[in-house]
């Protein structure tokens, strides 16, 4: 490897490091801010998109094609979830009769099947944008971001937010 190639590799590594640090700082700042009228959800979503695009090493063209499909997938998934969970809102499974319990079991299986069908549908669309390895990593990256977000929210609730330790919490 000649000097130019080594320099090029170092620049690529530095760019990746700077991008990763920026995304983590970006996500951290969004998660620590208090949401106002959906503004927080939009900022968290933007941080999630940035995290996924970076984690999957997407090109700018891939990211531009991926974002609307991913947003559509999450809207469809939210609709499927809301339909199922709204039906049983306020129902206590510990006090449900046999008929209600049986109906919930059947509806839950239907819900899970709808989620699987939705994923299969969007997998076909994703594979027109990204490689199979990127698709495999997509679901992992989505879970990782959600776990980081939940951990951050738990820390805030437990007084470990931005200035929690400084305030004697």
| Per-position pLDDT tens, the chain of length 169 | 677 777 777 676 656 555 555 554 444 444 444 445 567 788 899 999 999 999 999 999 999 999 999 999 999 999 999 999 898 888 887 788 888 889 989 999 999 999 999 999 999 999 999 999 999 999 999 999 999 999 988 988 887 655 444 444 4
DSSP SS3 for 118: helix
Burial (0-12, 13-18, 19+ Cβ within 10 Å), 166: exposed
Structure confidence at residue 18 (pLDDT)? 59
How does pLDDT run across 25-59, given as a tens digit for each residue? 444 444 444 445 567 788 899 999 999 999 999 99
Task: Give the 3-state secondary structure of residue 36.
Answer: coil
- Three-state secondary-structure class, residue 124: helix
């Amino acid at each position: 490897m000649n000097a130019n190639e080594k320099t090029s590799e170092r620049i690529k590594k530095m760019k990746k490091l700077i991008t990763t640090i920026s995304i983590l700082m970006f996500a951290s700042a969004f998660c620590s801010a208090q949401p106002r009228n959906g503004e927080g959800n939009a900022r968290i979503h933007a941080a999630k998109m940035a995290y996924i695009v970076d984690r999957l090493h997407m090109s700018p063209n891939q990211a531009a094609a991926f974002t609307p499909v991913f947003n559509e997938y999450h809207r469809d998934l939210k609709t499927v979830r809301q339909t199922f969970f709204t039906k049983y809102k306020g129902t206590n499974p510990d006090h449900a009769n046999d008929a209600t319990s049986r109906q919930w079991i059947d509806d839950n299986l239907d819900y899970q099947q709808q989620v699987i069908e939705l994923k299969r549908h969007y997998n076909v669309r994703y594979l027109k944008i990204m490689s199979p390895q990127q698709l495999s990593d997509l679901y992992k990256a989505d879970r990782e971001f959600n776990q980081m977000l939940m951990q951050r929210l738990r820390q805030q609730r437990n007084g470990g937010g931005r200035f929690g330790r400084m305030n004697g919490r």
